[in-house]
C-alpha cells in the first residue's frame, strides 16, 4: 500500500528505460535479458514488471521516447527561424546530433529498433511515426519556403525532406562502421544540394 508521488513513479520508469538503453546499446535488443536490465537498474524483476508489463513494452517505450526526441529536434530547428532557411537549420541539427557523443548510445538503439520494426507491429508503428512526423514537419516548412521563393518551384519538397532524412539515417549507420567518421564533410555536400534546389529570388539558405 504504497501511496507514492507520480513524480517518484515517473522517475523509476525513466531509470528503467535508461538502464534498458544502456543494455540494448551494448548487447542488442535480443541478447539483452531482463536479468541484464535488472542488474543495470539495480531493481528487481518484480519491480520492473510493475512499471512495464513486458520486455516488448520497454522496447516500445524506448522507441516512443526516441520518436518524441527526434520530432522535437526537427520541430525546434524549424521554429527557430524563418521558413526560408529551415532546411539549413535542420541540416545543422542533424549533423550536430551526429557529433554529439552523448546521443551515440541512443542512436545505436535506433539501429536496433529499425531492425525490430520489421517484425514487431508495435515497434513498427512507432518507428514509422518517427519517420513520418519529421517528414511532415519538414515538408511543410519546405512548402512555406517554396511559396516564399526560397526553394525552386519545380522542386519536389517531400522528396527533399525524405532524402535529407535518408542521408541522416545512412550517416548514423556509417558512424558505427567507421571509427574515423566525421560529419563535417557532409555538411558541405548537403549545402550543395540545398543550393541546387534554391529558388531564384531568395536563397534556400541564409547565412
Q: Can you give the binding site for its own copies, defined by CB under 8 A?
A: 2, 25-31, 44, 46, 108, 111-112, 114-119, 127-128, 131-132, 156, 158-160, 162-163, 165-171, 173-174, 176-178, 185-186, 188-189, 192-193, 195-197
Backbone dihedral angles phi then psi of residue 151, each to the nearest 5 degrees: -120, 140
199 neighbors 150 (Cβ within 8 angstroms): yes
Pick from its own copies, DNA, none: which does 114 bind, CB < 5 to 8 A by kind?
its own copies
Q: What is the DSSP letter of 154?
A: T
Using CB under 7 A, which of the segments 2-10, 18-26, 106-114, 198-206 binds DNA? 2-10
Contacts of 18 (CB under 8 A, 6+ apart): 41
60 neighbors 126 (Cβ within 8 angstroms): yes
**What's the min distance (Å) between Cβ of 120 and its own copies?**
8
Binding mask 40-79 for DNA (x = CB under 7 A): ---xxxxx-xxx-xxxx-----------------------
Nearer to DNA, 53 or 80 (CB): 53
Region 10-39 residues binding DNA, contact defined as CB under 7 A: 12, 31-35
Distance CA 32, CA 207 (A): 46
**What's the min distance (Å) between Cβ of 133 and DNA?**
28
Region 135-154 residues binding DNA, contact defined as CB under 7 A: none
3-state secondary structure of 198: strand
Distance CA 156, CA 151 (A): 10
Distance, C-alpha 59 to centroid of its chain: 15
**What's the min distance (Å) between Cβ of 132 and its own copies?**
8
Cα Rg of the chain (Å, integer): 20
**What's the min distance (Å) between Cβ of 141 and its own copies?**
17
Distance CA 81, CA 87 (A): 10
For DNA, how many residues bind (rule: CB under 7 A)? 24
Binding site for DNA (CB under 7 A): 1-4, 8-9, 12, 31-35, 43-47, 49-51, 53-56
Amino acid at each position: 500500500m504504497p501511496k507514492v508521488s507520480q513524480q517518484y513513479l515517473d522517475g523509476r520508469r525513466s531509470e528503467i528505460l535508461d538502464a534498458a538503453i544502456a543494455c540494448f546499446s551494448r548487447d542488442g535488443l535480443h541478447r539483452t535479458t531482463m536479468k541484464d536490465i535488472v542488474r543495470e537498474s539495480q531493481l528487481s524483476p518484480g519491480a520492473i514488471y510493475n512499471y512495464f508489463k513486458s520486455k516488448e513494452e520497454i522496447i516500445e517505450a524506448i522507441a516512443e521516447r526516441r520518436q518524441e526526441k527526434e520530432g522535437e529536434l526537427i520541430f525546434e530547428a524549424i521554429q527557430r527561424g524563418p521558413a526560408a532557411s529551415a532546411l539549413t537549420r535542420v541540416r545543422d541539427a542533424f549533423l550536430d546530433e551526429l557529433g554529439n557523443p552523448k546521443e551515440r548510445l541512443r542512436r545505436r538503439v535506433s539501429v536496433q529498433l529499425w531492425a525490430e520494426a520489421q517484425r514487431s507491429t508495435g515497434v513498427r508503428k512507432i518507428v514509422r511515426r518517427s519517420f513520418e512526423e519529421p517528414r511532415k514537419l519538414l515538408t511543410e516548412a519546405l512548402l512555406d519556403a517554396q511559396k516564399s521563393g526560397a526553394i525552386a518551384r519545380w522542386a519536389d519538397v517531400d522528396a527533399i525532406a525524405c532524402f535529407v532524412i535518408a542521408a541522416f539515417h545512412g550517416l548514423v549507420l556509417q558512424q558505427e562502421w567507421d571509427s574515423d567518421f566525421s560529419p563535417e564533410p557532409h555538411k558541405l555536400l548537403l549545402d550543395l544540394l540545398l543550393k541546387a534546389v534554391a529558388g531564384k529570388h531568395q536563397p534556400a539558405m541564409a547565412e
